[in-house]
Amino acid sequence: MKGRGRRDGERSQYEGEGEKTRGEEEEEKGRRDEEWEEEEEEEEEEEEEEEEEEEEEEEEEEEEEEEEAVESYVHHLLALVTSSLGTPSLLQPNPCTDVRVTHHPTSPSCYGVSGNMDSDG
């Protein structure tokens, strides 16, 4: 037995019961490496998820800012129209073009001529 090296799974006569064989040590090291790799992968996934959430929040904030800017601009334009024309005529129905009016008035401004178009035609 002298000169023979220790094989995996074998304990020498001097090894105590608490000591591990080379194979057991390699298995344990492999498990530790796997656990470390899994933890690292989980951390990377969490970081990616956090980055995606931050990007989504930034996009939502930008969209909200754009909407607010457009709304502000529209209110500004409406205020300009109101101040220069009084009540905007676009907001008042036109009896000449309003489809809800069943009988058009005989106003020359509606037809470009004087009199009632219905009686001429």
Nearest by Cα to 78 from 66, 90, 67: 90
**Structural domain boundaries in the chain:** 19-86, 93-121
Evaluate whether 93 touches 100 at the Cβ level (below 8 Å): yes
What digits encode the pLDDT tens for the residues 25-34?
888 888 999 9
Rg (CA), the chain: 43
Higher pLDDT, 117 or 67: 67
Q: What is the pLDDT of residues 56-112, one digit of tens each?
A: 999 999 999 999 999 999 999 988 888 777 655 555 666 666 655 555 555 555 555
For position 85, what pLDDT does the model report?
A: 72
Q: Is the pLDDT at 10 greater than 70, yes or no?
A: no
Taking the model in full, what pTM does it have?
0.38
* Residue environment code for 88-111, b if the CB has 16+ CB neighbours within 10 A, otherwise e: eeeeeeeeeeeeeeeeeeeeeeeb
pLDDT of residue 121: 45
Q: How many whole angstroms separate alpha carbon 86 and alpha carbon 78?
A: 11
